[in-house]
Amino acid sequence: MTPIPDWLRPLYPFSPRSFTTPRGARLSYLDEGGAGSSEAVLMLHGNPTWSFYYRDLVKTLAPRLRCVAPDHIGMGLSDKPQDYPYNLETRIGDIAALVSHLGLKRVHLVVHDWGGAIGFGFAARHPGLIGRIVVLNTGAFPSSSIPARIALCKTDFWGTALVRGLNGFAGPAVWMAMARRSLSSLEKRAYLLPYDSWANRVAVDAFVKDIPMHDTHPSWPTLKLVEAGIARFRENPVLIIWGGRDFCFHDGFYTEWRQRLPGSDAHYLADAGHYVLDDARDEVLPRLASFFRS
């Protein structure tokens, strides 16, 4: 796992732990607060972020609640094997194995980006564990809409050359995913820290290519099962916080979440970007704290 440099510790003052997945890779995760409680808030990131995305939420909740924030294999401070099966099915399995390893009996989900498909995939297989759910600019169902720049990144040769060779996915994200404010130079450096070479961008590339756009894609059947499971959580307390200036997870996703989870408490922030937890931090963190207190 990647060691934490001294310059990062003021922003990320945690001591990550390590778990070996069923396929033998070391997964880094945060486990803060809660004094070993069997109830935890499980925070799942997407691409190309890592548990750093949840740093301020962990600081906000951990004095009272146990917070678990893993780095998916190939991401963040976790191992980055070049031959891992970087697909939705494996990622759901990795999270299920971590939850079992930690002995969690009650799991509250916070999901962002492709963490939505992973989180709702886990939830659909373990519905009895799931309590409250927070949805942050994400999807967990097929969509026919994909930005041209992401479609390019999905291509085998040019996409891989762009994402792995030129850092053309993680690099632009540090400014494209923000709208209200700009990330500080240290925040940008932190987001890009794990993705500093061709080898270390293996999962960034694989994450993009694992977005199923048609029924012949290997992850399509898994995503359809994830989609089918969403309705099981209509009675759960659900909070949706949505940044309206998201070039990828656009308002169509927000509308669909409102339809699929009609009893949710939804808050649309028209001027916030994809990294809504960073971009609208002062507004979002108190709302999340109140949601989990209730």
- Confidence (pLDDT) at 36: 81
β-bridge partners, 274? none
Residue pair 242/266 in contact (Cβ under 8 Å)? The answer is yes
Instruction: Strands of 45-179 (E only): list them.
Output: 66-70, 106-113, 130-138
Q: What is the DSSP string of 249-291?
A: S-HHHHHHHHHHSTT-EEEEEEEEESSHHHHTHHHHHHHHHHH
For 18, the 3-state DSSP assignment is strand
Cα separations (Å) of 87 from 73, 75, 136, 250, 264? 11, 13, 21, 23, 29
* CA–CA separation, 148 and 250 (whole Å): 14
For 83, the 3-state DSSP assignment is coil
* CA–CA separation, 226 and 241 (whole Å): 21
DSSP annotation of 115 reads H
Question: With pLDDT > 90 as the criterion, what percentage of the chain qualifies?
Answer: 95
Topology (CATH) of 13-293: Rossmann fold (3.40.50)
- Confidence (pLDDT) at 145: 85
pLDDT single digits (tens) 150-175: 999 999 999 999 999 999 999 999 99
**pTM tops 0.95:** yes
- Confidence (pLDDT) at 149: 86
Closest CA to 51 of 88, 96, 83, 95: 95
Residue pair 100/94 in contact (Cβ under 8 Å)? The answer is no
Q: Which two tokens stand for residue 64?
A: 């009272």
* CA–CA separation, 202 and 196 (whole Å): 11
DSSP annotation of 271 reads E
Q: At residue 50, what is the residue type?
A: W
- Confidence (pLDDT) at 35: 76
pLDDT single digits (tens) 103-114: 999 999 999 999
Q: Which two tokens stand for residue 164?
A: 């792995």
pLDDT band at 63 (very low <50, low <70, confident <90, very high): confident
pLDDT single digits (tens) 243-261: 999 989 999 999 999 999 9
- Confidence (pLDDT) at 161: 97
- Confidence (pLDDT) at 144: 87
Phi, psi of 118 (to 5 degrees): -65, -45
- Confidence (pLDDT) at 165: 97
- Confidence (pLDDT) at 157: 94
- Confidence (pLDDT) at 1: 61
**Residue 2: is its pLDDT beyond 80?**
no
Neighbours of 8 (CB within 10 A): 17
Residue pair 212/139 in contact (Cβ under 8 Å)? The answer is no
Provide mean pLDDT across the span 269-275: 98
- Confidence (pLDDT) at 226: 98
Provide mean pLDDT across the span 113-120: 98
**Which residue pairs from 127-131 have beta carbons closer than 8 angstroms and sit at least 24 positions apart in sequence?**
127/229, 127/232, 127/233, 129/99, 129/104, 129/105, 130/233, 130/236, 131/39, 131/106, 131/107, 131/236, 131/237
Structural domain spans, the chain: 13-293
pLDDT single digits (tens) 173-231: 999 999 999 999 999 999 999 999 999 999 999 999 999 999 999 999 999 999 999 99
Q: At residue 115, what is the residue type?
A: G
* Tokens 């949601």 found at: 291
- Confidence (pLDDT) at 39: 97
- Confidence (pLDDT) at 278: 98
- Confidence (pLDDT) at 12: 98
Which stretches within 126-198 are classed as H helix? 148-154, 157-160, 170-176, 185-192
* CA–CA separation, 155 and 267 (whole Å): 35
